[in-house]
């Protein structure tokens, strides 16, 4: 399936998107996501830094569109951590979670402050399966242990306890 772009769309994205490689991508968010993932593929480290304003200018969109892509497609449960720095020309740092067990545990540890939702738990476990760090059976067992331990915990505290439990379990599983 070919993508048909208007002349203005073609001009705004021609610098950053190889159209032959982008198949079945119908909206701007898909293009932005593909561009950021391409940056990771070319990077020598698992970290990239971007300026939201510059990226928005490249794609001819508002910075909030970049924020939307980052907050929905580059999440912990998809294997990314996004850090935003403001002031002095601020920037966004995106870290791709690697197979290093300590990195994974550290990233989950950061969630012990804000909490980890059920969706994020599922995403982290799915990501660990993709990385071949745990098996599907182990993921099911980890989820069952965590959910069993959360019985009786008030709903306002569940996300924080879920993150703490996952951190503890991962320290054991990923040794």
| pLDDT value of position 1 | 33
pLDDT value, residue 126: 83
Cβ neighbours of residue 100 closer than 8 Å, sequence gap 6 or more: none
Nearest one of 119, 100, 115 to 170, comparing CA atoms: 100
Please tell me the predicted confidence (pLDDT) of residue 11: 46
Q: What's the pLDDT at 100? A: 74
- Measured between its terminal Cα atoms, the distance across the chain in Å is 45
Please identify every stretch of the chain with a pLDDT value under 70, giving residue numbers as ranges. 1-26, 87-90, 99
Look at residue 121 and give its three-state secondary structure.
helix
Report which secondary-structure segment, H or E, holds 48.
Answer: strand 47-50
Structure tokens at 130: 């993709």
Judge whether 159 and 113 are in contact, CB under 8 Å.
no
Q: What is the pLDDT, as a whole number, of residue 89?
A: 62
What is the model's pTM?
0.60
Residue 49: its H or E element: strand 47-50
DSSP state of 21: T
CA distance 125 to 140: 9
């Amino acid at each position: 399936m070919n993508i048909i772009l208007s002349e203005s769309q073609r001009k705004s994205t021609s610098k950053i998107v190889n159209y032959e490689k982008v198949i079945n991508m119908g909206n701007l968010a898909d293009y932005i996501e593909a561009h950021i993932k391409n940056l990771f593929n070319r990077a020598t480290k698992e970290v990239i830094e971007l300026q939201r304003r510059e990226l928005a200018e490249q794609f001819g969109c508002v910075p909030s569109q970049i924020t939307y892509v980052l907050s929905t497609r580059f999440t912990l449960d998809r294997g990314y951590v996004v850090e935003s720095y403001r002031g002095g020309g601020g920037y966004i740092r995106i870290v791709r979670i690697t197979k290093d067990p300590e990195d994974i545990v550290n990233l989950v540890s950061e969630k012990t402050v804000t909490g980890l939702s059920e969706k994020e738990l599922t995403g982290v476990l799915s990501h660990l399966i993709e990385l071949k760090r745990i098996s599907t059976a182990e993921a099911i067992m980890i989820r069952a242990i965590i959910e069993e331990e959360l019985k009786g915990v008030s709903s306002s505290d569940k996300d924080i306890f879920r993150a703490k439990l996952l951190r503890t379990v991962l320290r054991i599983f990923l040794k």
